Amino acid sequence: MRILLVGEYSGFHNSLKHGLEYLGHKVTILGDGDGFKRYPVDIDLSNSFFEKHWLLRKFKVAWWKMTGHNLEDRLKLFRFRESENQLKHFDIVQFINSNPFNCHPKIERKMLDFLLNHNERFFLVACGDDYEYSKYLVEKHQGYSILDAVKSGTQHKNKFYFTYKYLENHYRNNYLKLLADSEKIIPSNIDYAMALTNNPKVTEIIPAAINCGKYHLNINAQLDPIEIFMGINRANYWKKGINYFEKALAIISNKYGDQVKITIAEDLPYDVYMSRYSNAHILLDQVLCYDQGYNALEAMLQGKVVFSGGSSIYLKAHGLESVPVIDAQPDVNYLVVQLSRLIDQPQSIIELGKAARNHILQHHESVMIAEKYLKLYQS
């Protein structure tokens, strides 16, 4: 089959492509590389024109403030138009999101409509914020969530524009249009599946695919000091609960001194991010989630001890009795206790890291996951 994967976040579609191609299918990824992260895509809509000079950047921002229009969106649309002959007659088109190009929804709709009008069968993945997920978080969700800082009054919802925007009419309409034209919507983890309980098109969770040949087991056998890594994407700082990690790390640093080495990196391209935590024993991924994100999964593949989602909600959804992840919870004292336990018993880091890699091999291997998608496409 010829398969078009539309949009890319965190390497999600690249790993699925690896599995699908291994099984003999021709796969093309269309997208913008997810901004500064620069994930590889086959048909690239990104454009660095406004990054060439500070004056161009200021002009872009000034124009956006005056008109509400992002000039980069126009450049993406232009590049899309240039590529239209390559975007027809696919057997399957899968959208990673209802806003896969990260443009204003009016611009986005032009590209979405072209794909819908020139191809046959469509699938939508629930992998990130969208209308149904945002609506669920605002109206129904119980327990902690990515909107905790708003609900507690710590932050104004303006800082969470990339979640609340999906409740606006144009974003909602694009989502509903894609959902109507798609045969199924596929949740990639329990966080998104919870929002889709009553959606008649929802499938079972298909976990994120991981290209398990991409990274080898990489456990740092030198346990003095214990190296702890945390990557920060400033746009998602509050959504991921990084504030809890920062407070816990301050206590750990004071408690253990030279026994630990703490590295914090911000807004790095994907390749740089991966190299920066190569020697880490422990990776702090995110707090306000019930499942593991893609960065967590790739770190587990390398044998890192990861703090991310791993609660009883996760275990029940995936039919598991346990998972080799430290379930990160929005409780600073709890995080300190969990980190201290690892530092005080360093050999457990080696054992947990090996178990983490085995978990990815058993539950996320890209060819196995690609087979699940193909079964869905062919049903």
Residue 83 forms part of a structural domain: yes
Bridge partners of 186?
125
Residue 217 forms part of a structural domain: no
Tokens at 218, concatenated? 């990489």
DSSP state of 338: H
Name the amino acid, one letter, at 103. C
**Percent helix / strand / coil, the chain, rounded to 5:** 50, 15, 35
In 3D space, the residue among 126, 128, 101 whose CA is nearest the CA of residue 115 turns out to be: 101
Across 45-160, where does the E strand assignment appear?
92-95, 121-126
Those residues of the chain that have pLDDT short of 50 are: 49-50, 52-56, 58-67
In 3D space, the residue among 157, 213, 207, 165 whose CA is nearest the CA of residue 187 turns out to be: 207
Exposure b/e, 299-313, CB count within 10 A at least 16 = b: bbbbbbbbbbbbbeb
In 3D space, the residue among 339, 298, 299, 297 whose CA is nearest the CA of residue 314 turns out to be: 297
CA distance 272 to 48: 19
In 3D space, the residue among 130, 20, 93, 91 whose CA is nearest the CA of residue 369 turns out to be: 20
Quick one: 91 and 133 in the same domain? yes
Provide the domain count of the chain. Answer: 2
The interaxial angle of helices 131-139 and 169-181, nearest 10 deg, is 120
Residue 218 forms part of a structural domain: no
Name the amino acid, one letter, at 56. L
Spatial contact of 115 and 369, defined as CB atoms under 8 Å apart: no
Quick one: 127 and 155 in the same domain? yes
DSSP string, 75-98: HHHHHHHHTGGGSS--SEEEESSS
Using CA atoms, how far residue 220 sits from 87, 210, 286, in Å, is 45, 22, 22
pLDDT tens digits, 351-373: 999 999 999 999 999 999 999 99
Quick one: 48 and 69 in the same domain? yes
Please give the residue range of the domain that contains residue 174: 2-212+366-378
Quick one: 165 and 274 in the same domain? no
CA 284 to chain centre: 15
Quick one: 79 and 203 in the same domain? yes
Contacts of 48 (CB under 8 A, 6+ apart): none
pLDDT at 123 (0 to 100): 98
Quick one: 198 and 344 in the same domain? no
Quick one: 208 and 239 in the same domain? no
- pTM of the model as a whole: 0.91
CA distance 303 to 219: 6
CATH number for the domain that contains residue 343? 3.40.50.2000
Residue 339 forms part of a structural domain: yes
Quick one: 140 and 167 in the same domain? yes
Exposure b/e, 62-85, CB count within 10 A at least 16 = b: eeeeeeeebbbbebbbebbeeeee
Quick one: 289 and 208 in the same domain? no
Quick one: 350 and 312 in the same domain? yes
Residue 155 forms part of a structural domain: yes
Quick one: 202 and 269 in the same domain? no
Q: Is 285 exposed, middle or buried (0-12, 13-18, 19+ CB in 10 A)?
A: buried
Q: Is 261 exposed, middle or buried (0-12, 13-18, 19+ CB in 10 A)?
A: middle
Element of type H or E holding 190: helix 190-193
Residue identified by tokens 């336990």 is: 341
Contacts of 259 (CB under 8 A, 6+ apart): 224, 225, 226, 343
* Helix (H/G/I), strand (E/B), else coil: 219: coil
Quick one: 32 and 179 in the same domain? yes
Residue 220 forms part of a structural domain: no
Tokens at 324, concatenated? 């080799």
Tokens at 232, concatenated? 């920060």
Residue 219 forms part of a structural domain: no
pLDDT at 70 (0 to 100): 65
Residue 310 forms part of a structural domain: yes
> Are β-strands 326-327 and 305-308 bridged in parallel, bridged antiparallel, or unpaired?
parallel
CA distance 235 to 267: 9
